[in-house]
Structure 1
């Protein structure tokens, strides 16, 4: 039988044969151990399995078998359990603490153990980071059953020589969102038509977590509980091999590593990882998939350049991260150009790769252990060779932003020390490659098209002022962030309180006070005064709480201010006079009361759910402020006058003429429209605002050179701006920039929206600097034709209201603490912006 006929036969067999279709080769099985089919009441592949049932089955395996134990490493936003099933021999379980100590000894740069083949290899089989790529979690059930119940000699050998840790669902919230959809629309008989509802989820779909974030980009950023729990677990165990199972378009086949060449000019991961180890394991996967007639491809499309994937982060910890991509049935059965692809067939490929990963790891455990040992030792060697001995950073005005950055370093086990009223990260440490990831920036690359971002210097995400240093006078090592923020307790006043607006948490404190009925003003000019803590200078935006003008008595006002300071750990001060020592007085017309935001955001089909989720997450988790999420289908029924701010993130907005006019009229009444990315282009194209995009140079008379067709994707793709860090010149006197002191800050750009500076000389808040590039790949054409002429943030007058136009995303992936303030100022200070004519 040809491979093609065998492929079709397998698709057919998935719907007609028993569960032996998956694991016949591993018989016999212990009959005392229930199979997934026996436990669930249906065969794997017949429907999509809810996460609670997956956890229940793993719990059952741990109850009935001495090969398995279950550990809960966290919970999702929606309260679903994140679990790890550890499977090995009963003897290994009994001695797991000792085995773990021996395993970690290989990674200890102060030890030189060489018994590489004597200690079981540590394998983390991880599944379903994208919720609507469900085949892998079903494969996790089959893999767990095989390893726990099979009495086959091959499995017995695996258990003797490995500690296998199975994470069945990295993204339970997204998985259950998709599971509900697929099962709800499942037909009987199955409907294979790609147009059927079963294969077409409604927005925001199940790929993302509760806040619509892609968790496969969060390993480096560590924003969400799913990732933070996994990272904490990871640095307790340092597995040698980690899998990362995905799905892709239905018209494809199957992908396993090796990947496309790393795009970095000099990748910080060892060449041995992405060449030797990937090719070694690739031979195993090819042989296994050949044996069941599955087609596949390697070395295309996907790359491991960005260090925040589940398949790339382990590579920076001395392990081997392995990416798998399965053509998706997007439901239970779907017609493709190659015939019908079924859910069971997709599961079988993932199951086969799971078992093959264990086989390859066990048969090469000495090599993998020696490699991980060399990885951490080479970190010190590489650091010693480098000229830079450490990175010093500080911020005198924003302790909470510094704290958030240090939290990120500690999450990745990067050593941080106090030094000279700041902090220093030495390069000479086992996590040197993570230090490089956090601080180093690049301008030269060997590739120009990336699967994801080409810039990720995390220090810039936090607008952290840092510099390389060769002087390391290390002070105390920072062990936690618990006591990093210190403030003088506010003292009761009968006159007024002032909150320093430079602190990242000041906006949250502002909203807290407003929500509790206090009138809070903002200072539109700096001043100095005598506070309970002595002489103090305040920057633009300082928050003023006048006691006598409140509806509450002085005691209640003090209690609220004190609670705000304690809750958000911000600088707050009592003052006894409005007559300031320098600058404006507290009764000045430049001290203006602020209106509490009543914000709404359009969501639904066409809207970029990632960006909408970033806004929702920021306001929910850091500001504790509600935002009303309006589905586009409900646009006509919304009472716009209930709100004073409308947020529109990137997307395709197919609004009617009357709907456009409704937005325009509402803004003109004095309200605020905030647009981000392609929504800014939309507002300009629809002439809601009198702004323009930087025009592209089109020379119709130029001779077009002939190029090979095969190079078209690369040549066209490199002109896209996939994710870079740029520097902007900021007008720190503008209300949108209140809380900033530096006139140049980093911003993140992952689009090709190039906005011209406003013709109004007071309305361009941020313009790209003359030498704007900080990190990431951008073509010279984009630099010269667009970047050098464009603005990042513009305000446009609309009647008595205004549109605040972000060309870039200030809230990217929940981790751009450095530019969050620009967006939050748009919400809280937008109505105070009166653009002069």
Structure 2
């Protein structure tokens, strides 16, 4: 009771804060390590330490979607905290992000410790409190010495919503006494689990893309510091020993020798502490440094030493779980191991402080010289749709990547992303240019490189991600520098009235980017009624491609004069270029009253959720509707599918998952589709229709070759490498398009699809194969040879009609992690145009 009263006082009555620093066990209403701590008490303890230690400052840098605070603690000596902003500024000067030369007395290495990016890896956030206490307490001379020349930044919970989802569930179901048997309820975390945030995104894959508010708010603060060392604290399954650096191959080719060397130094230092305790650990076997959006790689590509710590635990383990050796892994074990590894990181940074600072300066000096990688400039054609360019600029700004405007026309040689190979390109004055010579040079090279070099094919994640592919841009990676002026300005919004004072007959805009889809969503929600051009036409001297959107006065006559004011106000708000026209009579092609101008209904859409669905895929679709497209969606449990439920909706979205519809549910879906309902099946959900009666979709099977005796007798060693011939961890494939089909509108002549599975389906016998791989398809990034062979000639996306409705098959998840901008446009096509 005494500790609980103290906690309440510290959390709610700052004026009555404790006169002395309390340990977590003294502060919390439970013995630290015996129960999980709710997030609000983690925050309360952090505030208590900041209020009672001269070494600690706390700032609240944001909030989660569910309203929980995001906090960061700055920990150093009193002298350093008194000049902390000067130290921060000096470090940004050292990186070339601010002008000036850092004063020698401000040479302080900065260590950032990130805990709990996966909420159900709760031992991380629990250990943040003990780490904070050890750094703040006055009776440790070693730590006092470290902090005299080191700044530590500590984030106790990167994912508070996921952490509370897990810990609150656990506290509800766990019995009074821990039951370590793994089959008991407290070890059976329910769907969707606490690993993910509110929108069920894996925040550890979101560092570069910053699709989530937690990531954006954290990275804005991170970039104000650019720490020299960053540790991302995780947990893995219960029988795994502790993992710390050095990381496994493949290392990205732009990781410096010093970054690799410090990883070894850190690992050796951690090992010395673990050896004294007799704790098991391992290094260099998993967790590579290639994919740029992790909590270890992203800091690495921003000049830091990025490292991952992985302790046995995870959502499976609860307060304690039996291991294969018969021992019990306790929550206290997890806290102890994480705390020692975190403190060891601060120690090794302090011991190597001079080398850290000099190597950090050298890293950014080389970046400013533009000598990091092969390409000197990345040129984005100004002829790209403005919406696509704006989306790219938003991402560049979030990552502090500098860009400019080409000042002269010239021919360059390099890699043409649209063509998918090397060639010549004519730069135009006014093109967008991202130079290699800038502080974020390494990050630029990594995010734009056409195909990362792989020293090892056994990778932990996707192997290709180049932004021009993701954003569907005409772009070139140039071997030479392109002259440019700083900054780039988008073309202003132009309202083309042609000097005509009469009321517009209609308002039109071409369908070219996802921003066009967002505007369509906003317009329909505002009561405006659109039409879709299913072919090309010309009107009042301007050509409109297939996919163009028209709002005619005839369709919107009930709005009266509000028609014009409403659509023009929306266009201004969304910065959407629209063109008023004063006749429906075309110069070429069809008129605006033609049947080729299909009316677009506003589809009432259900999104399936629940244990049958993959939590990440459901979250990606949910976030897409609520945050990206801003379009109403209704969440329906897949287990509740019935004729009555389906009757309320026009479209049902099936995220990836393992669906087991009953016979009656399958019948209800079939009848609903025949009456006009549409299903959009994403990724592995497509397989739910393969081979089903009434559907022509068929899985594409690799040819089965009879194994020769020698193949049967292959050694056990090396089996992992042999298996990757059938593996697609994440590679980009150039997709052929039927450009006349509405699913392909706005995508250009080709679509680059991010494929994260080897699943392959035959082209549809009955339906429309709108996107498919050619027989010559080759991956950008790694894909196993057998998988590639089987994927050739396979379906990427298409529609199979069922009566008046049907199914849209999206074999590759276009919403994967929310960063494939061109995939968002493809999904909008499936949502709005599949009825046409």
| TM, length-normalised to structure 1 | 0.90
Q: Does residue 788 of the first structure (1) align with residue 827 of the second (2)?
A: no
Residue of structure 2 in register with 1:759 after alignment: 765
Residue of structure 2 in register with 1:246 after alignment: 234
Q: C-alpha displacement at 1:301, in angstroms?
A: 2.0
Of 205-214 and 390-399, the range deviating more from structure 2? 390-399
- SS of residue paired to 1:467: strand
Q: C-alpha displacement at 1:125, in angstroms?
A: 1.0
In structure 2, relative to structure 1, the CA distance for the partners of 1:313 and 1:387 (3 Å cut) is closer
Q: Measure the CA separation in 2 of the matches of 1:397 and 1:578.
A: 28
Task: Say if 1:490 and 1:562, in contact at 8 Å, map to a contact too.
Answer: no
- SS of residue paired to 1:49: coil
In structure 2, relative to structure 1, the CA distance for the partners of 1:250 and 1:554 (3 Å cut) is same
Q: Measure the CA separation in 2 of the matches of 1:736 and 1:684.
A: 21
Deviation digits for residues 586-615 of structure 1, max 9, x if unmatched? 111101111111111222223211111111
Q: Measure the CA separation in 2 of the matches of 1:714 and 1:499.
A: 51
Q: C-alpha displacement at 1:162, in angstroms?
A: 0.9
Residue of structure 1 in register with 2:829 after alignment: 825
Q: C-alpha displacement at 1:644, in angstroms?
A: 1.0
Task: Say if 2:111 and 2:229, in contact at 8 Å, map to a contact too.
Answer: yes
Q: Measure the CA separation in 2 of the matches of 1:340 and 1:581.
A: 79
User: Which of these residues, 393, 398, 417, is aligned with residue 406 of structure 1?
Assistant: 393
Q: Within 5 Å, give how 1:674-693 maps onto structure 2.
A: 674-687=680-693, 689-693=695-699
Residue of structure 2 in register with 1:270 after alignment: 256
Residue of structure 2 in register with 1:669 after alignment: 675
Q: Measure the CA separation in 2 of the matches of 1:96 and 1:121.
A: 12
Deviation digits for residues 332-361 of structure 1, max 9, x if unmatched? 111221221111111111111111111111
Deviation digits for residues 797-828 of structure 1, max 9, x if unmatched? 22222111111111111111112111111111
Residue of structure 2 in register with 1:542 after alignment: 548
Q: Measure the CA separation in 1 of the matches of 2:524 and 2:282.
A: 57
In structure 2, relative to structure 1, the CA distance for the partners of 1:477 and 1:189 (3 Å cut) is same
Residue of structure 2 in register with 1:510 after alignment: 520
Q: C-alpha displacement at 1:578, in angstroms?
A: 0.6
Residue of structure 2 in register with 1:745 after alignment: 751
Of 58-67 and 455-464, the range deviating more from structure 2? 58-67
Of 158-167 and 190-199, the range deviating more from structure 2? 190-199
Deviation digits for residues 165-203 of structure 1, max 9, x if unmatched? 111111111111111111111211112121222212211
Residue of structure 2 in register with 1:305 after alignment: 290
Task: Say if 2:93 and 2:102, in contact at 8 Å, map to a contact too.
Answer: no
Q: Does residue 813 of the first structure (1) align with residue 801 of the second (2)?
A: no
- SS of residue paired to 2:641: helix
Residue of structure 2 in register with 1:11 after alignment: none
Q: Measure the CA separation in 2 of the matches of 1:493 and 1:475.
A: 43
- SS of residue paired to 2:45: helix
Residue of structure 2 in register with 1:442 after alignment: 451
Q: Does residue 335 of the first structure (1) align with residue 322 of the second (2)?
A: yes
Task: Say if 1:116 and 1:366, in contact at 8 Å, map to a contact too.
Answer: no
Of 170-179 and 56-65, the range deviating more from structure 2? 56-65
Superposed CA RMSD in Å reads 2.3
Q: C-alpha displacement at 1:65, in angstroms?
A: 2.7
- SS of residue paired to 1:653: coil
Residue of structure 2 in register with 1:527 after alignment: 537
Q: Structure 1 unaligned segments of length 5 or more: list them.
A: 1-29, 833-837
Q: Measure the CA separation in 1 of the matches of 2:378 and 2:293.
A: 21
Deviation digits for residues 461-486 of structure 1, max 9, x if unmatched? 1112111235655444227xxx6363
User: Which of these residues, 377, 384, 395, is aligned with residue 390 of structure 1?
Assistant: 377
Q: Measure the CA separation in 2 of the matches of 1:371 and 1:122.
A: 13
Count of residue correspondences: 789
Deviation digits for residues 502-546 of structure 1, max 9, x if unmatched? 24222222222222323211111122222xxxx432111212212
Residue of structure 2 in register with 1:18 after alignment: none
In structure 2, relative to structure 1, the CA distance for the partners of 1:490 and 1:611 (3 Å cut) is farther
Residue of structure 2 in register with 1:281 after alignment: 266
Q: Does residue 719 of the first structure (1) align with residue 707 of the second (2)?
A: no
Residue of structure 1 in register with 2:405 after alignment: 418
Q: Measure the CA separation in 2 of the matches of 1:88 and 1:467.
A: 46
- SS of residue paired to 1:123: strand
Residue of structure 2 in register with 1:20 after alignment: none
User: Which of these residues, 293, 301, 307, is aligned with residue 278 of structure 2?
Assistant: 293
Deviation digits for residues 534-562 of structure 1, max 9, x if unmatched? x4321112122121333533321112211
Residue of structure 1 in register with 2:486 after alignment: 477
Residue of structure 2 in register with 1:639 after alignment: 645
Q: Measure the CA separation in 2 of the matches of 1:637 and 1:204.
A: 26
Q: Measure the CA separation in 2 of the matches of 1:525 and 1:180.
A: 55
Q: Measure the CA separation in 1 of the matches of 2:525 and 2:659.
A: 32
Residue of structure 1 in register with 2:311 after alignment: 326
Q: C-alpha displacement at 1:35, in angstroms?
A: 2.2
In structure 2, relative to structure 1, the CA distance for the partners of 1:215 and 1:443 (3 Å cut) is closer
In structure 2, relative to structure 1, the CA distance for the partners of 1:553 and 1:444 (3 Å cut) is closer
Q: Measure the CA separation in 2 of the matches of 1:141 and 1:542.
A: 56
Q: Within 5 Å, give how 1:689-704 maps onto structure 2.
A: 689-700=695-706, 702-704=708-710
- SS of residue paired to 1:696: coil
In structure 2, relative to structure 1, the CA distance for the partners of 1:248 and 1:549 (3 Å cut) is same
Of 594-603 and 769-778, the range deviating more from structure 2? 769-778
Residue of structure 2 in register with 1:799 after alignment: 803
Q: Measure the CA separation in 1 of the matches of 2:307 and 2:656.
A: 32
Task: Say if 1:218 and 1:309, in contact at 8 Å, map to a contact too.
Answer: yes
Q: Measure the CA separation in 2 of the matches of 1:690 and 1:320.
A: 52
Deviation digits for residues 247-266 of structure 1, max 9, x if unmatched? 111121211111212265xx
Residue of structure 1 in register with 2:115 after alignment: 127
Q: Measure the CA separation in 1 of the matches of 2:119 and 2:104.
A: 37
Task: Say if 1:485 and 1:569, in contact at 8 Å, map to a contact too.
Answer: no
Q: C-alpha displacement at 1:215, in angstroms?
A: 0.6
Of 391-400 and 748-757, the range deviating more from structure 2? 391-400
Of 538-547 and 745-754, the range deviating more from structure 2? 538-547
Q: Within 5 Å, give how 1:593-604 maps onto structure 2.
A: 593-604=599-610
Q: C-alpha displacement at 1:734, in angstroms?
A: 0.6
User: Which of these residues, 467, 473, 494, is aligned with residue 464 of structure 1?
Assistant: 473
Q: Measure the CA separation in 2 of the matches of 1:666 and 1:804.
A: 15
Task: Say if 2:382 and 2:432, in contact at 8 Å, map to a contact too.
Answer: no
In structure 2, relative to structure 1, the CA distance for the partners of 1:291 and 1:628 (3 Å cut) is same
In structure 2, relative to structure 1, the CA distance for the partners of 1:220 and 1:494 (3 Å cut) is closer
Q: C-alpha displacement at 1:685, in angstroms?
A: 3.5
Residue of structure 2 in register with 1:140 after alignment: 128
Q: Measure the CA separation in 2 of the matches of 1:226 and 1:197.
A: 31
Q: Measure the CA separation in 2 of the matches of 1:636 and 1:296.
A: 51
Q: Measure the CA separation in 2 of the matches of 1:240 and 1:476.
A: 31
Residue of structure 1 in register with 2:8 after alignment: none
Deviation digits for residues 652-683 of structure 1, max 9, x if unmatched? 11222222222112111121111121111221
In structure 2, relative to structure 1, the CA distance for the partners of 1:704 and 1:807 (3 Å cut) is farther
- SS of residue paired to 2:300: helix
- SS of residue paired to 2:62: strand
